A and B are shown apart, each in its own frame.
Chain A
């Protein structure tokens, strides 16, 4: 502990030179003039004559700072691809602090080109050692049944992300379990962010400003989870004019409105989405569609003077559905009698909170304070009287202080989160069980991001302390992320690596043998057991093969210790009997991105193909097994052809079969004691499972085709998207009910059409 403290001060001393030597400071925000959204990655340079004096890139808020400028005459130039550059001459004196707010206008000649912009389908420039930076345009290019894109569908195309089916919203990331993922919206946790139909989440394209998705190896600012982080920043509303959109589609219809409350200073954005699939297509080719979901979102953002920003975010989601909506007999062709026992799974999220950002006028420090509350309720059972209920309620406050340097930043931060967990289980085969727990987590971290060796090297070392204050337990978690550009940032090659240690005190209990069961009861690590721990290591190589073709290769290893796993039970019940397990996940993926390539009939082609090989292995009690999310091979391909206003997208997904525990049949069990008479007592029904997860489901494959026409007339944009989901009507297995020996298939061939009208 002592050594860590000294190390931190040493880090501060090393980099304090940058600050004390400053003479003049330039800083400001860069936004898109058309909608006032921040432009991340804009290039800001300071020139003296033709010589480059200093430079920086804007961060996720569109913010930049350049310090240590000597008095003199300069030109400040801000540029971003597709936008007209902005230039201003400056006369700086010692101690000057200049603030800028620059709105870049789109270059008229490039507007048409941008429709087929190169990074539309997850270009490799967004990939770095487990980090995928997602922008709305990329989300839009992954088709979903509807008109707008959704982050959930985009994530499914990322190598290493395993989804169990097209319903349920369960995501497994590079070998991690569902409960090891953390989703954040404007810094606040969303415990079940994905909707009951897995194409959709609480993060539609219209509301996402940017998203950082770490499939592992995340930096020191994140903690409390051991697999992945999805950090979504919601858009601020338009501060110049009223804008909005309405879309109508059977799966999901939506309305969004945004605009200034005080022009140029305060804006608001509101969105509501609702699925009408249950009402409009209750039965589709023999498959029932008993799903209902929706979400409501709001954000108010205010610029207060030149130094302060304040925002409030609200999100409310609800989902319910009978996951086993339609069952077929084991031999497929005969539809079983309609099984409708009115059993459904339901969940709700509610998140609300605010963020205050302060940028000092005197020193290059940005402070960000976030506070809020997240709630989640999950229920399973007959409608109106669920047999199982679980709740998670957390309140938290976090502070991050960033000291901006010319070549990076130094950040320290802390999060205090108090979480109340509860569950009630009242299953047929389970004794009535209730639990109420409380957990207080304190997370403190320090990290720095530095660009070194003439921008050939970028390092992001850090350390995260994860403490459970009510248990007097704490862990130090070193982290490191590195990127190397051997031939400079404009060169063809980039090598990335990340490494870190992570702990997690929350565990989500699910019955992993029942793939169709989405109920999760959250508990803390059992007394006497160490918190779950994982170590991640990722290395990757990005290469620009041709001007239009790039590639990336990444390999990962995740080691798990102290996982909490249910004890295998032969009874058909949700069990709270737990055991400690260890595990490891490792694999590699390769992807190719085709960008802006002329194709047939004067169209332009974009696309990506990715292949992942990975394996996950757990050891629990006497068993060594590959858990239910061990997808060994996965292939995703998205190809988009654009000609003028018309675009055609074809998506193909292929996955090898997921493990499941086969049935060895059923029998009855007696605890033979002198009180038991086998002639008169029924005994207890028992399923005879084969070796845990010893079987494999059939492979999964799906092809979707979408045709879109987008027409722009001034500020109005009309979009029509029509397509077919599961074009070859493949009977992909979703889950098997071992008790009735009936199967539930994923969605069949589904035609869909949707319309969207936008006012920009």
Chain B
């Protein structure tokens, strides 16, 4: 009997001891990733803007400027590694359309093609997330005009442009320079970015020169209103394109169609000790003079009536 009682006690002892284990749990496990950053350097802008989200245990949900999360522990710098200049970014607690607030940072500088910029986001305890981007530079001979303008069955005129050697286009604008009596103007027409390169693997655009005349006419009519001119003949003297291309660190995002994969933390991210993308765009433009013969083939000159609808 004594042995039995002893056996029971021996059995119970570890059970009772195991019941004293710690039951506290802190499921937050992150001492390596400090910030998420989304934004890019844009050569078309003087003021650069990025959004920074501190990676914390609670979702960012700032409903008022006095809330704890409205204060962010982050100093943000960029250093141009090409010419060793540094820029301190300014913080803005910006209110969005839904009334909530987010942390934006701004800096005013001109983005230079071919330069390397390093972004550093530093906490007070000197923990730091960083990202580097090289502003892409497209050589002018890397894109070509295709064969001459195409006239479709509805008499509209198109110009096909393709970009061999360019891996990723951000956007494109067609540039039309027109002249008339006492009138010279450059009209920009935005084109949506195709989702993917064409079947031949080239990024390709069809500039709808006939349709783009509406924008040219609209600008001419505004000029005519100011000058009280009823009619204005204009002709096309130069045609060009201005496009922005994506830096190589950022580009992989555009090759992945699977949203779930794309959204995985860290996927295609260039942020060290953080998440997100700090990218840059390279700006390039190309223009060609248009001879009167080519202008005629493209539907010019045109006579703009002040009251004509378009």
Cβ proximity bits B11-37 to A, threshold 8 Å, 1 near / 0 not: 110010011011111111110010010
| Inter-subunit contact B38/A664 (CB<8 Å) | no
Q: How far is the CA of A609 from the CA of B7 in the complex (A)?
A: 12
Which residues of A have CB within 8 Å of B171? 674
Complex Cα–Cα for A242 and B106 (A): 85
CB of A739 within 8 A of CB of B59, answer yes
Task: Select the stretch in B97-105, B231-239, B288-296 that faces chain A.
Answer: B97-105
- If A637-B15, A674-B171 touch, whether A682 touches B30 (CB-CB below 8 Å) is no
B23:A666 contact, CB within 8 angstroms:
no
Q: Contact between B55 and A609 (Cβ–Cβ < 8 Å)?
A: no
B4 contacts A by Cβ under 8 Å: yes
* B86 interfacial by beta-carbon distance below 8 Å: no
Give the contact stretch, choosing among A173-181, A438-446, A525-533, A689-697: A689-697
Chain A's closest residue to B193 (CB) is A674
- When each residue 47-61 of chain B gets 1 if its CB lies under 8 Å from chain A and 0 otherwise, what string results? 001110101111110
Question: In the complex the two chains form, what is the Cα distance from A639 to B15 in whole Å?
Answer: 13
Q: Given that A678-B49, A679-B104 are known contacts, is A667 also in contact with B260, CB under 8 Å in the complex? A: no
Is B18 within 8 A of A571, CB to CB? no
Residues of A559-582 whose CB lies within 8 A of B = 567-571, 575, 577
A663 in contact with B27 (CB, 8 Å):
yes
Stretch at the interface among B116-124, B178-186, B208-216, B271-279: B271-279
Query: Smallest CB–CB gap between A724 and chain B, Å?
Result: 14
Closest residue on chain A to residue B190 by CB atoms: A674
Chain B CB count within 10 A is highest, among A567, A664, A688, for: A664
Shortest distance between the CB of B17 and any CB in chain A (Å) = 10
Contact A667 B275 (CB under 8 A): yes
Assess the B57–A654 pair: CB atoms within 8 A. no
A330 within 8 A of B: yes
Which of A108-116, A416-424, A469-477, A729-737 has 4 or more CB atoms under 8 Å from chain B?
A729-737
A669 to B100, CA, bound (A): 16
Find A662's partner among B11, B29, B38 (CB 8 Å cutoff).
Answer: B29
Determine the distance from Cα of A682 to Cα of B259 in the docked complex, in whole angstroms: 18
Is A171 engaged at the interface, CB distance under 8 Å to the other chain? no
Q: Which B residue sits closest to A637, measured CB to CB?
A: B15
Question: Of the candidates B40, B58, B100, B276, which one forms a contact with A741 in the assembled complex, judged by CB atoms under 8 Å apart?
Answer: B58
- Structural contact, B15 and A666, CB atoms closer than 8 A: no
Chain B residues with Cβ under 8 A from A571's Cβ?
A: 263
Chain B 209-228 residues near chain A, CB threshold 8 A: none
Interface string of A686-722 (1 = CB under 8 A from B): 1111100011011101010000000000000000000
Point out the residues of chain B lying under 8 angstroms from A736, CB to CB: 25, 27
The reply to whether A678 and B50 form a contact with Cβ atoms under 8 Å apart is yes
Q: Are the CB atoms of B15 and A635 closer together than 8 Å?
A: yes
Partner of B18, one of A665, A683, A701: A701
A236 to chain B, nearest CB (A): 40
Q: Quick check: A670 and B4 within 8 Å, CB to CB?
A: no
User: A688 near B18 (CB under 8 angstroms)?
Assistant: no
Q: Complex: how many Å from CA A680 to CA B264?
A: 23
- Do residues B29 and A664 form an inter-chain contact, with CB atoms below 8 A? yes
Q: Mark B145-159, 1 if CB is under 8 A from A, else 0.
A: 000000000000000
CB distance from A172 to the nearest CB of B (A): 20
The reply to whether B19 and A733 contact each other, CB–CB distance below 8 Å, is no
Cβ contacts B36-80/A at 8 Å (1 or 0 each): 101110000000011101011111100000000000000000000
Query: Which of B12, B29, B260 makes the CB contact (< 8 A) with A695?
Result: B29
- Interchain CB contact under 8 A, A670 and B38: yes
Chain A residues near B85 (CB-CB < 8 A): none
Contact call B33/A664, Cβ cutoff below 8 A: yes
Give the Cβ gap from A670 to chain B, nearest Cβ, in Å. 5
Instruction: Please tell me which one of the listed residues B19, B94, B96, B263 contacts residue A686 in the complex, with CB atoms under 8 A apart.
Output: B263
Option from B11, B15, B40, B55 in Cβ contact (under 8 Å) with A672: B40
Q: Which residues of B contact A94 (CB under 8 A)?
A: none
Contact A701 to B58, CB < 8 A, known contacts A330-B26, A667-B276, A680-B96: no
> Which residues of B lie under 8 Å from residue A699 when comparing CB positions?
18, 21, 23
Which residues of B lie under 8 Å from residue A599 when comparing CB positions? 4
In the assembled complex, the CB of B259 is this many whole angstroms from the nearest CB of chain A, namely: 7
B51: chain A residues at CB < 8 Å are 668, 670, 678-679, 683
Contact B265 A686 (CB under 8 A): yes
Docked-complex contact B38 and A688, CB < 8 angstroms: no
- At the interface, yes or no: A660 with Cβ under 8 Å from chain B? yes
The distance from the CB of B119 to the nearest CB of chain A, in whole angstroms, is 14
Among residues of B, the one whose C-beta sits closest to the C-beta of A696 is: B25
A671 at interface, CB cutoff 8 A: yes
B124-166 interface with A by 8 A CB criterion: none
Q: Does B262 lie within 8 Å of A671, measured CB to CB?
A: yes
Would B104 and A665 count as touching, CB distance under 8 A? Answer: no
Question: A688 touching B265 by the CB < 8 A rule?
Answer: yes
Mostly, the A contact residues are: loop
List of A residues within 8 angstroms of B25 by Cβ: 697-698, 733, 736, 743
Chain A residues with a Cβ closer than 8 Å to the other chain, count: 62
The interface residues of chain B lying within 8 Å CB-to-CB of A654 are: 15, 18-19
CA distance A731 to B265 in the complex (A): 33
Assess the A660–B18 pair: CB atoms within 8 A: no
The verdict on A688 contacting B275 (CB below 8 Å), with A599-B4, A672-B40 known, is yes
Q: Are B55 and A701 in contact (CB under 8 A)?
A: no
Q: Is A332 an interface residue (CB 8 A)?
A: yes
Q: Is the CB of B94 within 8 A of A666?
A: no
Among residues of A, the one whose C-beta sits closest to the C-beta of B25 is A698
Interface residues of A in 148-205 (CB under 8 A from B): none
A728 at the interface (CB under 8 A from B): yes
Q: For residue B12, which residues in chain A have a CB less than 8 angstroms away from its CB? A: 652
Let me know if A667 and B53 touch, CB within 8 A.
Answer: yes
From A662, A681, A701, A738, contact of B19 by CB (8 A):
A701
Q: Tell me if B4 and A597 are in contact (CB < 8 A).
A: yes
A727: nearest chain-B partner, CB-CB: B19
- Residue ID in chain B nearest A657 by CB atoms: B25
Task: Let me know if A664 and B55 touch, CB within 8 A.
Answer: yes
Known: A665-B57, A698-B24. A682 touches B38 (CB 8 A): no
Q: How far is the CB of A692 from chain B (nearest CB, A)?
A: 12
B97: A residues at CB distance < 8 A: 680
Given contacts A635-B15, A654-B15, contact A666 B24 (CB under 8 A): no
How far, in Å, is B164 (CB) from chain A's closest CB?
22
| Interface flag for A684 (CB, 8 Å) | yes
Q: Give chain A nearest CB distance to B154 CB in angstroms.
A: 29
Q: How far is the CA of A639 from the CA of B8 in the complex (A)?
A: 10
Q: Is B88 an interface residue (CB 8 A)?
A: no
Residues of chain B within 8 A of A645, CB atoms compared: none
CB within 8 Å for A665 and B277 given contacts A577-B260, A679-B94, A685-B59: no
With both chains docked as a complex, state the minimum distance between the C-beta of A758 and any C-beta of chain B, in angstroms. Answer: 32
**Nearest B residue (CB) for A661:** B27
Contact partners of A681 in chain B: CB under 8 A: 96
A685 to B8 CA separation, bound complex (whole angstroms)? 54
**B29 adjacent to A663 (CB under 8 Å):** yes
Contact of B23 among A682, A703, A732 (CB under 8 A): A732
> Are the CB atoms of B265 and A741 closer together than 8 Å?
no
Query: B193 touching A678 by the CB < 8 A rule?
Result: no
With A663-B29, A665-B28 known as contacts, the answer to whether A683 contacts B260 (CB < 8 A) is: no
Taking A674-B192, A732-B23 as known contacts, 18 extra A-B pairs with beta carbons closer than 8 A to each other, sorted by chain A number, are A639-B8, A662-B28, A662-B29, A663-B30, A664-B28, A664-B29, A667-B36, A667-B53, A668-B51, A670-B51, A671-B262, A672-B279, A679-B49, A682-B96, A695-B27, A698-B23, A738-B27, A741-B28
The 26 sampled A-B contact pairs (Cβ below 8 Å) are: A330-B26, A568-B264, A569-B260, A639-B8, A663-B30, A664-B29, A664-B30, A665-B33, A667-B60, A668-B38, A669-B36, A669-B263, A669-B276, A670-B276, A672-B40, A674-B171, A674-B192, A678-B50, A679-B51, A681-B96, A682-B102, A683-B51, A686-B265, A688-B265, A699-B21, A730-B19
Give me the 3 closest cross-chain CB pairs, A-B, nearest first: A667-B36, A662-B29, A665-B55
Interface residues of B (CB under 8 A from A): 4-5, 8, 11-12, 15, 18-19, 21-30, 33, 36, 38-40, 49-51, 53, 55-60, 94, 96-98, 100, 102, 104, 170-171, 192-193, 250, 253, 259-260, 262-265, 275-277, 279
